[in-house]
Each structure stands twice: as structure tokens, then as C-alpha cells.
Structure 1
Amino acid sequence: MYYLSSKNKGWHITGVDVKEEQVKDCNEFFSRIKRQDRVQFQYGDLTKLSVEGGYDLVVSVDVMEHIEDDEGVLKNLYQTMNPGGMIIISTPSDQGGSDAHHHEAEHDDGVTGFIDEHVRDGYNLQEIIQKLKKAGFKDVDARYSYGWPGKISWKLSMKYPIVMLNATKVFFILLPFYYLITFPFSFVLNIMDVRGNHKKGTGLIVKAFK
């Protein structure tokens, strides 16, 4: 939301979350940085969302894997959009991106907090394409993310710091120096991951239009 609001001052942006404390915190943040006139967060359940048109862009990052009635949510999001509007979805794939039991058994390193609320073990590439088309979307483009560059970047920027913080809180002091060294590598790897076409990956990036 912060990134989008930085891209264009003419955009009016709405964030929706089922956790009221998150909504409150985000609204307070955007108020402090004087963007509250064009960025608003509100409490909402996507399975019950009822907004007739108005949005040109819908962005869903790591949301769909938490929702049982995903087809219902896609239909609701479709209804909120203007004709020609675009939806972008980032979600785990069925190649290990959301397999909590696998991660817990193999690693047992405290990173399962990212995936322990998931209701499905990731999406099959064709499955999410078909669900979007069923909801009415067209020109659906789905591709894998978190190929080998993204996996390495995730380990450097997310997994290893969490493992070390779980081992000792002293690492809080060392964390800025760790990122000073690793961030440039992670940044380049992320660019490679987003721009590359991977035959497989633990994530999916999907784009479609109304």
C-alpha cells in the first residue's frame, strides 16, 4: 500500500483486512505521513465483500491461500472492479510454497509462522487460471515465482535472520550489519526472479483483466 501510494498521488487506495488492529495501525501510519486523504484501510471480510465497481486495480499478496471460499472471493473482487481493470495475485504454488507439515518436519526452525494459517497447500498453475476464468476474468497470465533466485533471496533475507533471532536476541544488534552485506545480493536475486520465466517455483504471480 505504501509503495502504491508513492507511485501516483492521484490514486485513491483502499486496504481491506479482517484484523481490526491492523486496520487501525495502518490508518494511523498513513495519517502520520499525511496520505490519509488518498489511502484508507477498512475492516472487511472478502467472502462477504459487496462493492459495485469502482476499482481499476486489485492487488492480492499472500491472501488467497488463507481463504477456503477462494472462488467466492474472486467473484466478489470481480464485482468491485471497473471494466478493463486488472487484478494481480501473488500466492504460494503447490510445489512446496505452502506445505506447513513439510517445512515443520524438515526444518523445525521457527519459520512455520508464515504458513501455519494456510487452508491449502498452494495452487496448481492451471487450477488458479481456471478459477479466475470461472469468476469472469479474461486474459489470465500465470507464472511461477520463487524459482532458484527467489529461493536463495528468501533464505538470505527472511529465513536465516529469523533462525538467528530465535537462537539469540543478541542478533538484533548485528541485524543491520547482516542486511548491509546481504541486501544487495537479495535485491539482484529478486529482480532475476521476477523477470525470469521459471519452469517451477514455490510461488505464483497471476495477472488477469475484467
Structure 2
Amino acid sequence: MLTVDFTRFPLAPGDRVLDLGCGAGRHAFECYRRGARVVALDRNTEEIREVAKWFAAMEEAGEVPAGATATAMEGDALALPFPDESFDVVIISEVMEHIPDDKGVLAEMVRVLKPGGRIAVTVPRHFPEKVCWALSDAYHEVEGGHIRIYKATELAARMRGAGLRPYGAHHAHALHSPYWWLKCAFGVDNDKALPVRAYHKLLVWDIMKKPRTTRYAEHFLNPLLGKSFVAYATKPHLPHDAAGPHDAVPGPHDAVPGPHDAAPAADDAAPTAV
């Protein structure tokens, strides 16, 4: 289940991609399938081991094109073990809400991103997340849990403050919001409650079968109930007076905002489609 929409976030074969806080690896796997040179980084040792196993299995099964590479490694998001301007693309999905120094994480991502490179940031959306917090303290008051709720305007301001240029945004996973509300209402660790079990079966069926009915329903519900807020941005090239003669010329993989692209929408209003 992808949160980043790769029709809005172009990825070219050979792009060097950092999936920061990769978790179980869903976005890293998709980038690998698309021919990228992927580094999946997380602080969780067990998850990194599993991601490495899946990378190897994908290669063995012939699921990746020639030239694609993939590495899974442990690391600290506040002290990335890479030189400046190492990556064409950086993805950080459902991570920043866990980290006290989110400005420091953004600074590190910008440091390792090449000028003209692209970044995708996803966080829990303000309204659905507020409902979860209101229903259950246990949902967020746990070690390593969510420590903040972002408004779209706040996230956009942080990204601009880090030197990024936002160019588009949307919401995702509307069908997952009611599931988490049920979890919070019946107990986040109570998987036996009938409404929770029933809704979980629906989500699994939807993920596995991808029926048109639920795809259309989620598409239309995302602006209202989308569980995740997704923001895209580029790292600008240096101005001519501060750079070499070629530094301000966009590269072939640079993301160029289209005529319908917009900055992230205000708090819980629906973003402009891109």
C-alpha cells in the first residue's frame, strides 16, 4: 500500500533514492521495481533485516530491471551517513511525526539531496489524527509514538524553511481513517472487537483485490477523510551569481510543476489536484 503517488512524483530508472525511515520497505520496493538505485534506511534492526531479505528475493525472482540496485542499512535520520548531494530523490513516509527534531531531519534530507532533486514527505493528516488523539491516549502516548500533529500549512512552512520548494500535495488512505477511529474507540491493542476485526478484513480484501468500487470510493473520500497528507517539493538550484555556469540548468530528471500544481492546501481543505 503506497502513500506516495508516483504519477505525481516522477521517478526515472537510475535515480538514486533514499527511503528514510523505510519501515517495512513498501516505497523502497516500488522504487526498486522502477529501476532506481535504492538505499532503505531505518533505525530498527529487525525491519532492516527483513527489507534486505525482500530485496534479495525480488532480485532472485527477476522483479527488477537491469541496473537497479538496493541496499538496506541502519542509520540515524539526524546524522545520515552520506556525503552532500548524494541522492536524486528522498522519501520520508509517516516518520516525522515521531521525531522531536523534525527541523534537523529536514536539514539532513536537504543536505543529501542534489540540487533539482525531489522529496516526498507524508505525515498523518490533521483532522483524522486529532480524532484518534481525542479517542485514545494510548494511541500516541507510547514510546516512539506520535509526538505532534501537523497542519498542512505548518508542514509546508517547515519545508520552505529548510530550503525546499513545495510543488504539490494530496491526501491518501481515506478508508483507513475509520479503521483507526475504531481501534482507538475499542482499544488500540484490542484486535478482537467485532467492528475492528470486520473492518480489518475489509481493508485486507481491498489491498489484495483492489476492486474498482473501493478504489473509486477512496478517490472521492480522500479530500475529506484521507488518513495521510502527502507533500512534494524540489531542492532549487543555486542562483547564477552563487553557482557555476551549469548549476542553474535543470537536469533531465528535475520535477517541473505542471499547470495544476499547487502548494500544500490549508489545514484540512482539499489540496489542489496535481
Shorter-normalised TM range = 0.7 to 0.9
Letter of the structure 1 residue corresponding to residue 91 of structure 2: V
Shift of 1:160: 6.8
Q: Name the residue aligned to 1:17.
A: 42
Partner Cα separation in structure 1 for residue 150 and residue 127 of structure 2: 8
Matched, 1:4 2:26: no
Shift of 1:157: 7.2
2:219 pairs, out of 191, 194, 201, with 191
What stretches of structure 2 of length at least 5 have no aligned partner? Answer: 1-27, 236-274
For residues 66-113 of structure 1, the C-alpha deviation after alignment (integer angstroms, 9 at most, x for no partner) is 1110001001000111111111111113324256531317xx9xxx38
TM-score, normalising length: structure 2: 0.57
For residues 125-151 of structure 1, the C-alpha deviation after alignment (integer angstroms, 9 at most, x for no partner) is 2111111111111244344x25xxx43
2:176 pairs, out of 130, 154, 166, with 154
- Partner of 2:104: helix, strand, or coil? helix
Partner Cα separation in structure 2 for residue 159 and residue 200 of structure 1: 11
Matched, 1:68 2:90: no
Q: Name the residue aligned to 1:124.
A: 151
- Partner of 2:134: helix, strand, or coil? helix
1:47 pairs, out of 57, 78, 82, with 78
Partner Cα separation in structure 1 for residue 133 and residue 180 of structure 2: 19
Query: In proportion to residue count, which structure has more helix?
Result: 1
1:101 pairs, out of 133, 142, 160, with 133
- Does the CA-based 8 Å contact 1:92-1:203 persist in structure 2? yes
Change (3 A) 1:177 1:102: closer
Partner Cα separation in structure 2 for residue 177 and residue 140 of structure 1: 31
Matched, 1:167 2:193: yes
1:31 pairs, out of 56, 63, 66, with 56
Partner Cα separation in structure 2 for residue 176 and residue 125 of structure 1: 29
Partner Cα separation in structure 1 for residue 204 and residue 117 of structure 2: 41
1:82 pairs, out of 114, 138, 141, with 114
Partner Cα separation in structure 2 for residue 4 and residue 15 of structure 1: 10
Q: Name the residue aligned to 1:179.
A: 205
Identity of aligned residues (%): 18
Which runs of 4 or more aligned residues in structure 1 lie more than 3 Å from their structure 2 counterparts after TM superposition?
Answer: 98-101, 139-143, 155-165, 174-178, 180-183, 190-194, 198-203
Q: Name the residue aligned to 2:162.
A: 135
- Partner of 2:41: helix, strand, or coil? strand
Partner Cα separation in structure 2 for residue 204 and residue 5 of structure 1: 24
- Partner of 1:48: helix, strand, or coil? coil
Matched, 1:207 2:238: no
Partner Cα separation in structure 1 for residue 93 and residue 73 of structure 2: 17
Letter of the structure 2 residue corresponding to residue 2 of structure 1: F
- Does the CA-based 8 Å contact 1:90-1:206 persist in structure 2? yes
- Partner of 1:95: helix, strand, or coil? helix
Instruction: State the superposition RMSD in angstroms.
Output: 3.8
Shift of 1:156: 7.2
Letter of the structure 1 residue corresponding to residue 80 of structure 2: L
- Does the CA-based 8 Å contact 2:128-2:227 persist in structure 1? yes
Change (3 A) 1:75 1:50: farther
- Partner of 1:46: helix, strand, or coil? coil
Partner Cα separation in structure 2 for residue 2 and residue 76 of structure 1: 23
